[in-house]
Structure 1
Amino acid sequence: MKHETLLEKSRKHLWLPFTQMKDYDANPLIIESGEGVKLKDTEGKEYYDAFSSVWLNVHGHRKKELDEAIRQQLDRIAHSTLLGMTNIPATELAERLVKIAPPGLTRVFYSDSGAASVEIALKMAFQYWQNRGIKKKSKFVTMKNGYHGDTIGAISVGSIDIFHQVYQPLLFDSYKVSYPYVYRHPSGDATICRDACLAELEQLLMEHHEDIAAIILEPMMQGAGGMVLMPEGYLAGAARLCRKYDVLLIADEVATGFGRTGEMFACDHEQVTPDIMTAGKGLTGGYLPVAVTMTTERIYEAFYADYTELKTFFHGHSYTGNQLGCAVALANLELFEQMNLIEQVQEKAAYVKKLLSSFQELKHVGDIRQIGLMCGLELVADKETKQPFEWANRTGYQVSLKLRELGMLTRPMGDTIVFMPPLSSRDSELTEMVDILRQGILSVTEGA
């Protein structure tokens, strides 16, 4: 089909997620195909996929082993329900996930999106206390500037005004505590910032732990909140406080899981096992929508009872445990093992860190935040005062348009430029992407 015809159809019928459609109509893009770390549009132009198709592609596009896993599963069955029964790929994947997850996470509940996995986690945490007869524990603690998805429950524990404020009348209340954002902290010192935020969290728990069911956080790096790196020790400190005050810890690993931060899961950086962990995105290598909510046996046992006790977890999705998705997820995890991918990511992350170090000299790059192959470059109007650009100028968005013109796709978080290439990216590809990134930032912020 011709580009012009597709463009007409898209403008007439589509409503794209997280997109002001007036912007899209002014700058349309239709992807036709992809291979490796590149995408091609309907006009034949190629682009580096520098944000892994919104943070989820692992091995690049059209990975032979993943394609074949789906074809082989199609020869058996595409889907059957997981309500009251199971299937082979879902069963095998659950076992595989338990082996690689933080020790103690022994149960796997499937869904089809990161937001759904968070919604499940919230309901599980709430019902866990209800099933135990501790009815008062019904509140949640979340981090300022946190993001956990777009369903009503997930928004209720989110805290990004531009995304969430309009829906405020629909949301349930949650406690919000400061996230240790070192760059914006008055001291600029990671240890002081971490300790102050942990003290704030403990004060809240000391006063309200009897009402609090769980804390939810994005371990090691806030994603949609602006790629904000968590200072060393905060995650482990928060976990200790949860144990001290008998509050559950929910780790939202939807963005950070499956090697993105240089460990299989971000919790592994500080040897933390949460009570509940959500994961998705990279689980299927970026192929199909499968997400999971994993729990400890303690959580699971609170629901295991005779039906008449009404402790059943009444939640499910039509495509839960879909065979095609679970089959490709198994193939994805097999590639992780065969390729020693975690070790590769650590090596590539060190290379990217070296490449990005030169950006410190750029006049309008205020902060560079990186863990593994998860990077954010915060653009500021004044580097000395950390004064941000006027939000209405949309500097980050303008940079993303320039990057597209130069042959690279990414999506900014406000004025923070996201750089999250596929984990399979070669050093030469990473070098080219960083060169384009530099050129795009200079062009928009300095007119170079």
Structure 2
Amino acid sequence: MAPIDSTLASKDIAHHLHSQTNLRLHEQIGPLVMERGEGIHVFDTDGNRYIEGMSGLWCATLGFNQPRLAKAAYAQMLKLPYQQTFAHRTTQPVIDLATALIERAPASLSKVLFQSSGSEAIDSAIKLVRYYHTAIGKPEKHKLIARQRSYHGTTLAAASLTGLPNMHKGWGDPLADVIHVRCPHLYRQGLPGESEEGFASRLADELEQTILEAGPETIGAFFAEPVMGTGGVIVPPATYFAKIQAVLRKYDILMVADEVICGFGRTGHYWGSQAMGIEPDMLTCAKGLSAAFQPISALLISDTIYQAIADQSNALGGFGHGYTYGGHPVAAAVALETLALYDELDILTNVAAVAPRFQEGVRALGNHPLIGEARGIGLMAALEFVADKQTREPFPAQLKVAGQVAEALQRRGVLLRALGDTLVMAPPLIINAAQVDVILAAVAESLDEVYAGMQQ
């Protein structure tokens, strides 16, 4: 870590307000200032090298120095650095990117709306749920259902969908139109002896009861990550989405798949929806869309939704929604090149090759005395810490056990993320087997270090 009295660190403490950070603690310890990247590694200003085991924030799927993406950005900047997409205007990169996304998307989706972040994509989806139902004569269907422990972003509306308590503390109440249902986490929410399918059936029944209590005529959409990321890499039980979607169809409720983390190969499938059997009416994506080289997101919608909102826009004289940087030509050019690289590098084949080794190693770590559950899919995984394996009692929050392990890992040159009682892993999709082994070995050593300290 750069020393607090360094020029960069002192400027950062003086002037930069950090997201998702204890601000008073930051004043004491200062920042870790990164300077450059190489493959799956990043280097700080002291020259220390780290494996970026979280792909930044799940997003640097192709690592940190892909020349073709830099060249794509530079070429577009020289040619046309900006153009808006309001009122019939567009650019070739935007047209080509929309086409490429629909070619790769689940079959039900036909149109693309661009934004700059995952939170904006979720906000756009929320607005379109209202716009669509109003267009078909059901304006009362404005309520939204999400899940406990879900993460959908940090804007006011997206954070209201997010089912993580720390995202609401101090910010006032979330929007009243949002209802949260049980998280599909068998380890924490399952009954003794309950099977995956039995658990899924119970959650579907609970969802239906929630809909009936709120009034089916008031529920517009159900938002779900195929695999919960920031909530702790929660992989849903077998048959979960099949049962959930049957309930949604029964009451004419839209299925919105939040693929901001899961999209573009993270789960071992191109889309998490394919991995989990989701048939989305809308799909949001970001992060891996440009491999984090440019800020861009997309909302994909079905033709049924498009036809209704197109008629509505005609009736009203326009579609009153959009962002200044939505469909930015530089971001679109980089995203288009990213999709080409996924194809040319056959990124799904690489994930298929290394994911079994990664998942087997993670599950082996589940035998450690500190770990209650090891879980994951593809190249995303989590270790949940417990004080007692039998009762599954968590450690006292003030111990920050996952945080201690993350700090021990950083000293070993591996960056992973502590989220409450959970240590989360999501390495770049270009990782190889040897690099997977380095991460797993570092985690094992760090677990032993923290456990030994706790025993003392």
Question: Which TM-score band (shorter chain)?
Answer: over 0.9
Shift of 1:306: 7.1
Q: 1:117 to 1:183 in 2, by over 3 A?
A: same
Distance (Å, rounded) in 2 between the aligned partners of 1:389 and 1:166? 24
Contact preservation (8 Å) 1:124, 1:313: no
Match status 1:138 vs 2:133? no
Match status 1:151 vs 2:147? no
Match status 1:210 vs 2:214? no
Query: In the TM superposition, what are the counterparts of 1:115-126 in structure 2 within 5 Å?
Result: 115-126=119-130
Residues 374-428 of structure 1 show CA distances to partners (whole Å, capped at 9, x for unaligned) of: 1111111111111101112211112111111111112211121011000001111
Contact preservation (8 Å) 1:236, 1:272: yes
Query: In the TM superposition, what are the counterparts of 1:207-246 in structure 2 within 5 Å?
Result: 207=213, 208-219=215-226, 221-246=227-252
Match status 1:29 vs 2:32? yes
Which secondary structure state, in structure 2, belongs to the residue aligned with residue 110 of structure 1?
Answer: strand
Q: Which amino acid aligns with 2:113?
A: F
Q: Which amino acid aligns with 1:327?
A: A
Aligned match of 2:171: 167
Residues 292-344 of structure 1 show CA distances to partners (whole Å, capped at 9, x for unaligned) of: 11100111111213756227432211111111111111111111111221122
Which secondary structure state, in structure 2, belongs to the residue aligned with residue 109 of structure 1?
Answer: strand
Aligned with residue 41 of structure 1, among 39, 44, 50: 44
Distance (Å, rounded) in 1 between the aligned partners of 2:205 and 2:452? 41
Aligned match of 2:20: 18
Identical aligned residues as a percent = 30
State the TM-score, normalizing by the size of structure 2.
0.94
Which secondary structure state, in structure 1, belongs to the residue aligned with residue 168 of structure 2?
Answer: helix
Query: In the TM superposition, what are the counterparts of 1:350-365 in structure 2 within 5 Å?
Result: 350-365=356-371
Distance (Å, rounded) in 1 between the aligned partners of 2:112 and 2:326? 11
Aligned with residue 186 of structure 1, among 178, 183, 191: 191
Distance (Å, rounded) in 2 between the aligned partners of 1:337 and 1:256? 17
Match status 1:101 vs 2:108? no
Shift of 1:189: 3.0
Aligned match of 2:205: 199
Q: 1:223 to 1:306 in 2, by over 3 A?
A: closer
Contact preservation (8 Å) 1:398, 1:444: yes
Shift of 1:291: 0.3
Distance (Å, rounded) in 1 between the aligned partners of 2:7 and 2:91? 42
Q: 1:27 to 1:308 in 2, by over 3 A?
A: closer
Match status 1:63 vs 2:59? no
Distance (Å, rounded) in 1 between the aligned partners of 2:301 and 2:405? 41
Aligned with residue 378 of structure 1, among 384, 389, 392: 384
Instruction: Answer with 25-34 or 421-430: which moved more.
Output: 25-34
Aligned match of 2:353: 347
Distance (Å, rounded) in 2 between the aligned partners of 1:181 and 1:307? 41
Instruction: Answer with 155-164 or 37-46: which moved more.
Output: 155-164
Shift of 1:43: 0.7
Aligned match of 2:90: 86
Q: Which amino acid aligns with 2:23?
A: M
State the TM-score, normalizing by the size of structure 1.
0.96
Distance (Å, rounded) in 2 between the aligned partners of 1:162 and 1:318? 30
Shift of 1:245: 1.3
Shift of 1:108: 0.3
Q: Which amino acid aligns with 1:19?
A: T
Shift of 1:22: 2.7
Q: Which amino acid aligns with 1:446?
A: A
Aligned match of 2:306: 300
Aligned match of 1:412: 418
Q: Which amino acid aligns with 2:404?
A: Q
Distance (Å, rounded) in 2 between the aligned partners of 1:442 and 1:224? 25
Match status 1:54 vs 2:60? no
Aligned match of 1:423: 429
Residues 327-362 of structure 1 show CA distances to partners (whole Å, capped at 9, x for unaligned) of: 111111111111221122122111112222321220
Contact preservation (8 Å) 1:303, 1:312: no
Residues 174-198 of structure 1 show CA distances to partners (whole Å, capped at 9, x for unaligned) of: 2221122111122353222211111
| Two-structure CA RMSD over aligned residues (Å) | 1.7
Gap runs ≥5 in structure 1: none
Alignment length (residue pairs): 446
Q: 1:32 to 1:26 in 2, by over 3 A?
A: same
Q: Which amino acid aligns with 2:148?
A: K
Q: Which amino acid aligns with 2:9?
A: L
Contact preservation (8 Å) 1:305, 1:311: no
Query: In the TM superposition, what are the counterparts of 1:428-447 in structure 2 within 5 Å?
Result: 428-447=434-453
Contact preservation (8 Å) 1:131, 1:311: no
Where in structure 1 do 4 or more consecutive aligned residues deviate above 6 Å?
none
Q: 1:244 to 1:312 in 2, by over 3 A?
A: farther
Match status 1:265 vs 2:271? yes
